[in-house]
Amino acid sequence: MSNDAAAAAATSPSRSRVKDLAEAHEQAIDRANQQPVSPTLARKTLSGASSSKDSSKPAPHDAAADSKPKQAEDAEAVQQSAATAKAADAAQSPKAADRTLETVPEGKGAEGADGDGVAGDKQAAAAPADEGTAAKKEGGESTASGAKGDAAATADKPVEEETQPLARILEVLPSLGEREQQIVQANLERVATYPAEMPLSTSWTLHFSDTSGTKSASAAAVKDAYTEGICPVFTATTVPNLCGSLKAFKQAAGKVSRRSKAPEGESFGLTRPGMNLHFFRTGITPTWEDPFNEKGGRLTISPSAHLFDSIYERLILLLAGSALELSASELLHSEGGPNAADGKKRGNNATAAAAGNNNNGPVVEGMVNGVVASRRARGDRIEVWLGGKKRKEPAPGPWIDALKEVLSEELGLPEVRTGKYKKHF
């Protein structure tokens, strides 16, 4: 190649363009090395450099003449852009001054720069959440204040506006008939004088026995097995004690009960023939040979399967509360007695006796010794055991008739009224 050709190649537009591009790349590298502050600053610096590069890109024909002035202008522009970016970062971050004074450990610069960007994003995302939290807090405070206002209004409400049960009874009492008023007043007097601990008139004990495994044994063996197999379950002396013990027993029995048709939690757990429950006065064993039962007998009730448990529980409560004996005594001593032909007259006298206006005879207690519930293959049965007030003393016939009348009314079983009384021996 000749010297003229070499000179022409050295001054050609293509060679000048390559030289300009190389210088532009070197300037970009220098600018990037001068400001490695943060991703935000880097983005701003690069964008500024890119726009500066595009606007100040030298033309091929004057690159040689303007290269040094352009480099000075680019350096000044980069410094101004860096200062502007720092000011913007300081304005956006509330703790920029603190970070300026911190000493960044070696090798942690990039990590800190990334953290600044993440912190900014978290701060931006947290702003709506904080607003929502504040709104919820205000709503909660308004709700709480409203609840307090309702509570204050309730507290300020006069006591007279909250009608008590006794006050309601007194309001309705004048509208009742004379006979009903006497009954209500008598019951209120009894409640007012009743002890707070609510004691029963006597102590009662629930026993359990199972004779299902003695069918093939002799009579003597069955008798011995029956006597030895009677197990006490609980003893109650007060109304709360009785109700609580009954509830606990039924809940435990309901977990193992399968045969009973009673609702859940209402079964007494007699699951197979031969099982028995005995609710008796404490001190009297549920056997015919006991001195209080020896001269007595029993009234038998045969309820349907779905009523078996509920009727037995009702009998327990009536017996423990002395309702059976009191009602039978009042009916016995009222005019006409249980066998009076005029049922209306008998009912009126019984109602008056319940109101405390019976002066025809003493109240008889202590002749119902207990009540037995038995599962049997030939039919379930409930027995009310009667006896005299003293050992080896039978129950009076008229009193038994009065008791059958009361049982028929209380249980809603008319057949009890005509049922037979059977002696133990």
For residue 283, is pLDDT > 80? Answer: yes
pTM value surpassing 0.85: no
- pLDDT tens, position by position, 326-338: 889 888 887 555 5
Please, are residues 325 and 365 in contact by the beta-carbon 8 Å criterion? yes
Please, are residues 398 and 364 in contact by the beta-carbon 8 Å criterion? no
Residue 238 banded pLDDT, cuts 50, 70, 90: very high
Please, are residues 211 and 276 in contact by the beta-carbon 8 Å criterion? yes
Residue 7, classified by CB atoms within 10 Å of its CB into exposed (0-12), middle (13-18) or buried (19+), is exposed
Task: Name which residue leads in pLDDT, 365 or 176.
Answer: 176
Residue 212 banded pLDDT, cuts 50, 70, 90: confident
Q: Of the segments 11-25, 26-40, 275-289, 349-363, which one has the largest average pLDDT value?
A: 275-289
Residue 305 banded pLDDT, cuts 50, 70, 90: confident
From the list 340, 331, 352, the residue with the least C-alpha distance to 404 is: 331
Superfamily of domain 199-423: RNA Cap, Translation Initiation Factor Eif4e (3.30.760.10)
| Close Cβ partners of 34 (under 8 Å, ≥ 6 residues apart) | 78, 82
Residue 353 banded pLDDT, cuts 50, 70, 90: very low
Cα dist. 203→207, 279, 307, 361 in Å? 13, 11, 27, 26
d(CA 42, CA 70): 22
Average pLDDT of the residues of the chain: 71
Reduce the secondary structure of 91-102 to three states and give it as a string.
HHCCCHHHHHHC
Parts of the chain belonging to CATH 3.30.760.10: 199-423
Q: DSSP 3-state assignment of 298?
A: strand
d(CA 172, CA 160): 16
- pLDDT tens, position by position, 149-203: 554 454 454 444 455 777 788 888 888 888 888 878 887 887 778 888 889 999 9
For residue 13, is pLDDT > 80? Answer: no
d(CA 70, CA 86): 24
d(CA 191, CA 353): 17
Residue showing tokens 């004996």: 325
d(CA 116, CA 112): 6
For residue 102, is pLDDT > 90? Answer: no
Phi, psi angles (nearest 5°) of residue 275: -85, 145
Segment 237-257 shows an average pLDDT of 89
Q: DSSP 3-state assignment of 369?
A: strand
Average the pLDDT over each of 212-221, 342-351, 402-411 and give the range with the smallest value: 342-351
- Any idea what DSSP says for residue 418? G
- pLDDT tens, position by position, 310-330: 999 999 999 999 999 988 988
10 Å Cβ neighbour count for 309?
26
The 381-386 sheet, strands edge to edge = 231-238, 199-210, 275-281, 368-374, 381-386, 297-301, 421-423
Cα dist. 216→141, 211, 221 in Å? 78, 11, 10
